[in-house]
Chain A
C-alpha cells in the first residue's frame, strides 16, 4: 500500500464519518407507520441526536430515503422516480414490515416489499416498529455508511474500478464482540 492509498483511505473514513452524522432524509410516508415516524422525529425519541433530524421534502436535497408504510404496485413508478432523483451516495431504509416484505398484505395490489423497485440498505421490522427499533436501524445504517458498504457507496466504488465482491459485505450489528 502506497502513501497515496493511505491518505485516500483516511480521507474516505473522514468523509463517511461526516456522512453518517448528517443524513438528510426524505420520508416517503404512505401509511400508519407514519405515526411512529413522527414519534421518532419528535423530541421524545429525537432522531436529531443522530444528525438526521431534517426531513427534506424534495428527493434532490436528500440522501436517505425512508420508506414508511405499505407500497402498492401503483406507487412503484413514483417510488422509483423519487429514488432516481436522489443524489449519490444515497441510502434507503425500509420502515416497518410492509415496506420490507409487504407485511400481512398478500394480494393483488400490494408490492411484496419496497426492495422490488429500489435497493434497501436496512430493513426495520415491526408493525409498526417502536421508535427504539428505528433508532437501532439508523445506528446500523450509520455503521454501514462508516464502512462504506451502503449500496450506492458500493456502486460508486465498483464504477471507479475497484473489485467489490458481494460476499465481502459483512453483516451489520453494532454490538462489538467481546473476546
Chain B
C-alpha cells in the first residue's frame, strides 16, 4: 500500500540507517538505527513523496523473553505510527534500545504531538527521550517507583498513596 515510503527511505538512507524494512499484513514498517531516528522522522515529514504530516501514535514494546530467535535483540522497541493526510498512506517505525541505555532522541521537535506520548512511554516502560522538554510521569503519580508495563514489574504490585487505619470504624 505504501511501498513508496519504504522505497524513498531506502533510496535516501544508504549508510545502513535502515536496519530492516518490510510489509506485514499490508502495513509497511522499517527498523531504524538509533542515531538516525530524528533524521528519518524529519525526512518522512518533509519529503513531498512521503509527507507524513500526522503523528498517530508512539509507544514501546518490552520484548523481555521474546527475542524471536535472536538473543542479542534489544529489549525495548520504541514504535511510532505515522500517517500522511495528503497521500493517505501509513508507515510504522521501530527503534530498538537496550535495557542498560534505554533512550532515543525525542520527536517533539518534529511533531509536537509526540510530547505526551513520549511521557507515557517513559512513565510505563522507562524509556527515556533525549531532549524532551518535560519528561515527567503522566499517568502514574510521582511517588511511584518503577515502570509498571515492564514485564519484570510484578503485575499486582501496588504502591498505595493512602490507606485507612486498620481496625478503626472511621
B25 at the binding interface (Cβ < 8 Å): no
A32 at the binding interface (Cβ < 8 Å): no
A178 at the binding interface (Cβ < 8 Å): no
Assembled-state Cα–Cα distance A107/B157 (Å): 7
A111 at the binding interface (Cβ < 8 Å): yes
Q: Judge whether A109 and B169 touch: CB under 8 Å.
A: no
B16 at the binding interface (Cβ < 8 Å): no
**Interface residue ranges of B137-170 to A (CB < 8 Å):** 139-141, 148, 153, 155-164, 169-170
Q: Judge whether B162 and A77 touch: CB under 8 Å.
A: yes
A46 at the binding interface (Cβ < 8 Å): no
Interface majority SS on A: helix, strand, loop or mixed?
helix
The 8 A CB mask of A141-153 against B (1 = contact, 0 = none) is 0000000000110
Q: Judge whether B156 and A151 touch: CB under 8 Å.
A: no
Q: Judge whether B156 and A117 touch: CB under 8 Å.
A: no
A35 at the binding interface (Cβ < 8 Å): no
**Contacts A74-B140, A115-B164, A117-B163 given: A158-B169 contact, CB under 8 Å?**
yes
**Interface residue ranges of A102-157 to B (CB < 8 Å):** 106-109, 111-112, 115-119, 151-152, 154-155
Which one of B153, B159, B162 contacts A117 once the chains associate, using CB atoms below 8 Å?
B162
The interface residues of chain A lying within 8 Å CB-to-CB of B153 are: 108
Assembled-state Cα–Cα distance A119/B166 (Å): 11
Chain A residues close to B by CB (< 8 Å):
73-74, 76-77, 80, 106-109, 111-112, 115-119, 151-152, 154-155, 158, 166
Chain B residues close to A by CB (< 8 Å):
139-141, 148, 153, 155-164, 169-170
Closest 5 CB pairs of A and B: A108-B148, A76-B162, A74-B141, A76-B161, A77-B162
What would be 8 A-B contacts, judged by CB atoms less than 8 Å apart? A73-B161, A76-B161, A77-B162, A106-B155, A117-B163, A151-B170, A155-B170, A158-B169
